[in-house]
Structure 1
Amino acid sequence: MTSTRTSTGSQRFVAGPVSSLPTKHGTFAIRSFTVAAVTHTVLTIGEPAECARPLVRVHSECLTGDALGSFRCDCGDQLDAALAEIAAEGHGILVYMSGHEGRGIGLAAKLQAYALQDDGMDTVAANRALGLPDDARDYTAAAEILRELGCSRIRLLTSNPSKQLALEELGIDVADRVRLPVPERPENSAYISSKRQRMNHDAPPESDAGQSPVNLSGFGEDIYASLAANQEVVAQLAQSQDGFIATRTGDACFVSGTTDRTHLHRIRAHVGTVLVGAQTVIADDPQLTVRAVPGTDPVRVVLDPHARVPVTSTVLSTGPTPTLWLIGAEAAPSSHVGGHVRVIRLPSSASPQDIIAVVRGQVAGSVLVEGGGRTVSSFLAAGALDRLFLTTAPVFIGDGVPGIRFQGSEVMAQALRTPFRRFELGEDMCTEYLLSQAAVAHSQPSPGVQEPASVESPQSTQ
């Protein structure tokens, strides 16, 4: 549906209809917004308006970089990285700004500036030699669009402090500026250096200089290689310092940071299947695909004994990723699911080990138990996991949806203790618990790993 209204400043504001845009990073919703006779493009994923601080990229159009693949600038790489980051978050917005070509000077003037740069000028000197401003962009339309989308408080994907300042002056609350991890190329290193030195753009922190966007500092490749080479059952969960995975309203957007979610996508890329419980699908409507890193999507497994998951959910309605819908013997599932879905009946009172056996009868490779807290806890308590990645974020929720919970022992001497390794993921701390002798054998020794004499499940200690 197209809507027209007059926005603040008496600018004509026309919002176009919403349609879908499948990309290599996932399927986005796409629509046009026309402000003051200039039409801009907006891509969204998930429900950004429901997030307290959605991730947003305000991207200036660049024909040469975005469409023609030029390496003179980093615009195309930033566009691709922004879509990957937003898709990895699961909720976010990319505002593609028309009229911003060449930092607002237009295509013809930009190509004139290119010619001057070929003669030795930097990007700022070339603009000034043409009698043009260093940066002529106006972000009024971007601010209008964000307010229209219900997102006036955001985290902004940019290395340009001036962009943040411009949006804040227009009433957008930029809670955080998130640098895009885009590596420099030989063809654009001088251009990027000029922006940092002469236009105050952020320089990369020394800790990740030269790293690729998907490199996770501290994680050895043996972790992912082990999952790909063996038949392990691994779980991953992110929770607050006080042990919650979401607020009391179910808002989990987002407990941990981007680096932890990239780690999660790398696990997905190295396993055969990813399993979630029915409540996770109902609450979060996840895609369970590989979007933030290169790799093949794992087969999705939905553990739903009572067939509660709506057929409109992404996992049951959207292919082509194969999906196994595990339901109870007496459940009555809807037949209106996508052709990528296979319905499998579970035996009565199926244990986590029974469920793994069913999954492995269908798909080879390691199994990732991704959520939610109740499902991961039940597999941990049953001794069905080989390893657990438990990420703790530096935030206190107070109360809400619990993370790891199971019936514990009465004395500390019988509490579950296993070998472990710890890794920093941005602001978060990930602890990898090695829960089986197989996982210990598959993992290379690492400084600081604690190795008790034996590995036992919570059940075996009671």
Structure 2
Amino acid sequence: MTDTSVNARRLVTTTLPTEHGAFQMLGYDGADGLGHVALVMGDLAAGMDDLPPLVRVHSECLTGDALGSRRCDCGEQLDAALAEIAREGRGAVVYVRGHEGRGIGLLAKLNAYALQDAGLDTVDANLELGYPADARDYADAADILRDLGAPRVRLLSSNPDKSRRLAELGIEIVSRQPLPVPDRPENLTYLTTKRERMGHDTLSSPDVWSELLAGRMPPTAPAGSDAVLLDRYGPLVDREEVAIAQLAQSIDGFIAARSGDAEFVSGTEDRTHLHRLRALMDAVVVGVGTVVADDPRLTVRAVPGDSPTRAVLDPTGRSPRRSAVLADGAAPTLWLVGERADVPDDVPAHVTVLRLPAGEDGFAPQQVLEVLRQHGLRRVLVEGGGRIVSSFLEAGVLDRLYLTTAPLLIGDGVPGIRFAGTDRLSGALRAPARRFVLGEDVCTELDLAAARQS
């Protein structure tokens, strides 16, 4: 159970110019009168739609931070954290007093140094003196983060135990990101002990996009673009079965002009986002109207990754035989047609024809998902067009919807999201939402699965 009592209270706010830029410097009580400080840049409480801020919870280390000791990497970690936060323009260093020597105090730490000089490592030296290997407490740090409006953070740390203990205190660790501080001959034994006996990460971290493509959540992520990938697409990876949809439309709700021209509603960054969604899915679903109007390839080209199986919903079998999905062989294609649809016998080898019963409105969305799952395709992206996405949305089978709005007004054209709706706003579909800025476009992600559970 999370302790909601407050031990650290803000007492003073000032500014601190540094070689990395100007930080707000906030003073807090705590640590038996020693006090703590937080160095803050930017607005940490800018909203749930923003990428969580970079945060370093830094344990006081006089020898490393002030005296430049190379027996540890503390001073370099502190400097690297300030530099990384300044580079991103938003984040905080919470400098926790009373953590000297992993919480045993300055003089005890010097005695531990003497034992290390005699051959003990840092863990055994603390234990020999009758102290725990790590006696630090993070309750004050958690209080400070909540006061700063940062209950969700990207933690700058190689220490998984620090992440776990902050999480136990109610701080959501979205990712844990090591700082690129090099090993030195003087601290190699110290760092090796942290990695081998205390579970700290090595400096190298896996490529985040490669890990996501492999269906794994990376334990760490470097700051910057990889952290954005982890935050944006990580929620899709930890589910074996998921149905999502993506659609781009103008701010007045159209996906194409009256003529059907849709090249291009949204910009390059949104199309890259779409290709990432394709790469993470087993199958991509489109209606025959999209095939006729746009002749899409539905492959992954803008990012590394394999192309998903293409599923074309075509009750009457009217897809052009020369369309990319039926002719190019760039990815397997499931051609879902009605029971009486006329299709040729000599379809290309990459095309599998599946016959399904169709109603007046085409195939039932739940039926489509069941057929795809029978073929081992459990992670599904519904890509278009507007009628197909709307039908899956109205059927209540989507877990997430990514709806990108582009800054253009079409006036009249092919509509985007449309469904029966409700007579009163109190009955409107509402879901937890996040927003991503993609160049000039804005993508809104609706967590429909969470809405169904609430």
TM-score (ref. length: structure 2): 0.48
